[in-house]
Amino acid sequence: MRTMWIGVAGFLGAITRYRADRWITYRMKGSFPWGTLLVNLTGCFILGLLISVCAERMAPHSDLRAALTVGFVGAYTTFSAFAYQTLTLSEHGNTDLAILYVLASVVPGVAAVWLGTLIGRSF
């Protein structure tokens, strides 16, 4: 049952991401990816808010918590999970691992997109 709720919430998160990105991009002219940036930042905020409220203020059913965090926010932006994991590493005293995680994710991630694009364009 949890998987179904995550899927439903993920569907809603993906649709919300698409609509928000389009709305922001339409209003913010230019070549900078404002839509993606603002979706990623709002996703990080929403994930932090949900996790702290769920853990510190109320204890919703684990299916609801998973649907909201993994499903909705996870589909809205995977960047939020990356940011939260980085924060968790740092808060647990693993600052070196947090920095390594950022560097190991961002630099190779951009390189992987470049390589995939290069290979994709060669067909």
Per the structure, how many domains does the chain have?
Answer: 1
In a domain, 65, yes or no: yes
Residues of the domain holding 23: 2-76
In a domain, 122, yes or no: no
Long-range contacts, stretch 101-104, CB < 8 angstroms, 24+ apart: none
In a domain, 56, yes or no: yes
In a domain, 46, yes or no: yes
In a domain, 51, yes or no: yes
How much is the pLDDT for 74?
92
| Mean pLDDT confidence for 26-55 | 87
Q: What is the DSSP string of 3-50?
A: HHHHHHHHHHHHHHHHHHHHHHHHHS-SSS-HHHHHHHHHHHHHHHHH
Q: Considering the entire predicted model, what is its pTM?
A: 0.76
Cβ count near 118 (within 10 Å): 9
Query: What would the pLDDT profile of 43-98 be if each residue is shown by its tens digit?
Result: 999 988 988 887 777 888 889 989 999 999 999 998 888 998 999 999 999 999 99
In a domain, 85, yes or no: no
In a domain, 57, yes or no: yes
